[in-house]
Structure 1
């Protein structure tokens, strides 16, 4: 008999929600290192230390969230809060884990306009070099994991070709992802047929083997709630562009831009970079230099990388910006991932076993490798590497991340120091 303390259905538990808030606030202040590291922190806190759920249930939650678009660690945290303390717990988990990095990046946004002159320019240039190293590491890791065979490597190259041909189109990324999904369905069914979807996903932290499939992982979200969440996700995704064309509201355009960015992020937090660049820099809302400096600063703060949206919302040139822009951008970019978690939890056990779904996902993941590789070239590389010394610093930072597993804060400090010295 299952003796887990998890509730069988979401219900509000205010006292438990306060406990969830306190735990996730501490994690939000201390969780450096990106989503994979975050999942390790979560496992130690909630499986090993607090015993809120067992290893198999935790691994299944990780599998659900890695299958979906959105910020994986935030989705896992949201799910843990939901199962622990109902809807209030889900909100508490998201707020606790997200707010510290949001406030830190807003602090940087306030200071950024004053970072002029020799030291300020050098600091901004150093943060751009951080972006080069971090995005290069993401491309390297994702290419090895998500393009292990010729079929998926070809899909990644096809996505790069699509972006090259459709440069400047607002729909280039979406078209590349759709083509990747279709090619995955056509080319990857045989390669994924012998492997379950959960095994094709990255291993959960501190485990030598993927978690075994579980018949009932305790994900007891009512199917009606899942269908409502899916309907709301689709309505916002497809209706918002029409509303923005019919109503000249900058607030609506801002929400739509960040919502669509959050809805199309397959493969990890760094994939949001090209989507946000297309929505903010290409539209003239945020200067390219400010965009890359903020992305570099986002590597130095704890918590989810998606909080970069708060910085961009603050920095937009047209109102609503500053506090209101930051709130709109932050809510909009996280909302689709949370809606998809609610939509997927009731259906996960039957969905995960379908080879066609695994093939589609394999194609999408390969396509996003191509998206991120193109973003590495432009705007990241072209905006940051102007001299041999820039290349040397970026290459050293990349090697520190890939070969020596250096903490991101060390890489940020190195690049900023180099930028100040050489600037």
Structure 2
């Protein structure tokens, strides 16, 4: 049995190479963390390419916020699947993950000896552009998803809650509360039409994926204990970290540290050095797993270890998406669920608004010149419709010029 499918707004089916090329460019230019990544995706696929509409995009974000794992990578995988099926989902993951994974693998091999990059001017400029990208996403999504005072109030309340409780529990609590409020207060006699997502996943595949997810989650630790094989232990530890973390890359770091440092697989100084390097690369922070795999003291390490750890930490996300998508697409068309989603979507806008302040704004805007560059980047993105990749380049050059002239 397959989910009822319909064409995305662009009505075209893409190819593996098309999706790979687009996400590879995004993987090179998407600085600023998971919230900024969602802004880049929205600009690329909702506004520019029109692969899907605003409501469908926000529904996807809401689903990925509920699931454990890296939310921005999960959103990217779904977008790739909508465009080109299973191959498109794989292409999106490879393209978005590869640049940062390669950079961190190179760092683990010693290329990072170039020194501390935390104060490099061009990198600071990329963080400033990320502020403008997130601001653009909040601006556009608020106009579409918070058009009345009720939903605007939900968005502001969600922002305040996530700022007061800056953790995954704060975000999940805000989403649950927004959904309940939406179900109770935002129902209407006429429901807006929703575009079915072209999901190439049957329910049999979904059930098989959820079964495999559970089997690996509980089976790998038992297999590791029974065999005492270091490769199985690596797979088990990184698979469990990818399965149980909510809130994105920064939340998974303590889990990974507990998994690898006390066991002596890697020393704490090497762990922290890799974490610092991970802040300086674009793309998802989960690619930090590739660095750890390369830097392990015991085999498998090097390239083999990096690829094993990277695959193990991402596999749960892929299995969970395959398991949830068919049921999610069926549910999101129901009237009661649509009311719930109105509240959830307004909450997502609020979460983005809170993230615009911290960590995005607080990690980038330190001086009037920073604010000026951010305003210029926002102007180019929103009013001049400048491609985000070009704004990224201009932001890096602008920050470098400001530093040279200071």
- 1:67 matched to which residue of 2? 66
Matches of 1:191 and 1:51, distance apart in 2: 27
Please give the per-residue CA displacement for 1:220-277, whole angstroms capped at 9, x wherever unaligned: 6321111111111111111111000000111110011111111111012210111111
Q: Contact conserved, 1:32 with 1:302, CA < 8 A, in 2?
A: yes
Q: Which residue of 2 aligns with 1:44?
A: 43
CA positional deviation for 1:79: 0.7
What residue is the counterpart of 1:250 in the other structure? Answer: 230
For residue 344 of structure 1, what is the aligned residue in structure 2?
324
Per-residue CA distance 1:345-378 (angstroms, 9 max, x = gap): 12225777499xx99xx9xxxxxxxxxxxxxxxx
Q: Whole-Å Cα distance in 1 between the matches of residues 17 and 47 of structure 2?
A: 21
Instruction: For residue 40 of structure 1, report the CA deviation from its aligned partner.
Output: 1.2
Q: Does 1:240 align with 2:227?
A: no
Alignment: residue pair count: 321
Answer whether contact 1:6 1:83 (CA < 8 A) is retained.
no
CA contact (8 A) 1:7 1:84 kept: no
Q: Could you say if the C-alpha distance between residues 145 and 300 of structure 1 is closer, same or farther in structure 2, counting changes exceeding 3 Å?
A: farther
Contact 1:69 1:266 in 2 (8 A): yes
Cα deviation, residue 189, structure 1: 7.9
**1:284 offset after TM fit, Å?**
1.3
Distance in 2 (alpha carbons) for counterparts of 1:50 and 1:256: 39
**Alignment partner, residue 4 of structure 1:** 8
**Displacement of 1:63 after TM fit?**
1.5
Which ranges of structure 2 fall in alignment gaps of 5 or more residues? Answer: 128-155, 187-191, 348-361, 375-391, 401-406
Q: Which residue matches 1:335?
A: 315
Confirm or deny: 8 A CA contact 1:262 1:337 kept in the other structure.
Answer: yes
Deviations 1:193-244 (A, max 9, x none): 32469x9xxxxxxxxxxxx894844546321111111111111111111000
Q: Is the 8 A contact 2:6 2:195 kept in 1?
A: no
Q: CA deviation at 1:47?
A: 1.6
Change (3 A) 1:35 1:22: same
RMSD: 4.7
Deviation at 1:75, TM superposition (A): 0.6
**Mapped contact 1:60–1:217 kept (Cα < 8 A):** no
Q: 1:262: which partner in 2?
A: 242
Superposed displacement of residue 6, structure 1: 7.3
Query: What is the CA–CA distance in structure 1 between the aligned matches of 2:42 and 2:204, rounded to whole Å?
Result: 29
Distance 1:271 1:148 in 2: 20
Question: In 1, Cα distance between the equivalents of 2:320 and 2:42?
Answer: 22
**CA–CA distance in structure 2, aligned partners of residues 77 and 53 of structure 1:** 13
In the alignment, the residues of structure 1 paired with residue 178 and residue 37 of structure 2 have an alpha-carbon distance, to the nearest angstrom, of 30
Of 193, 209, 212, the residue aligned with 2:180 is 193
Deviations 1:270-294 (A, max 9, x none): 1011111111112211111111111
State the partner residue of 2:357.
none
Q: For structure 1, which segment, 321-330 or 215-224, has the greater mean C-alpha deviation from structure 2 after superposition? A: 215-224
Distance 2:58 2:117 in 1: 39
Alpha-carbon distance in 2 for matches of 1:38, 1:245: 38
CA distance in 2: counterparts of 1:275 and 1:346, whole angstroms: 30
Pair 1:47–1:287, CA change in 2 (3 A): same
Structure 1: any 5+ residue segments left out of the alignment?
135-143, 160-176, 200-211, 363-395, 415-423
**Residue 34 in structure 1 maps to residue 33 in structure 2:** yes
Equivalent pair of 2:77/2:90 in contact (CA under 8 Å): yes
Q: TM-score, length-normalised on structure 2?
A: 0.65
- Cα pair 1:21 1:89 within 8 Å, conserved: yes
Q: 1:232 to 1:213 in 2, by over 3 A?
A: farther
Partner Cα distance (1:189, 1:44) in 2:
27
Q: 2:303 is matched with which residue?
A: 323
Q: Post-superposition shift, 1:76?
A: 0.9
Residues 305-332 of structure 1: CA deviation (Å, up to 9, x unaligned): 1001000010111100011100000001
Change (3 A) 1:95 1:190: closer
Q: Write the deviation string for residues 162-207 of structure 1: whole angstroms up to 9, x where unpaired.
A: xxxxxxxxxxxxxxx9xx79xx7xxx9888632469x9xxxxxxxx
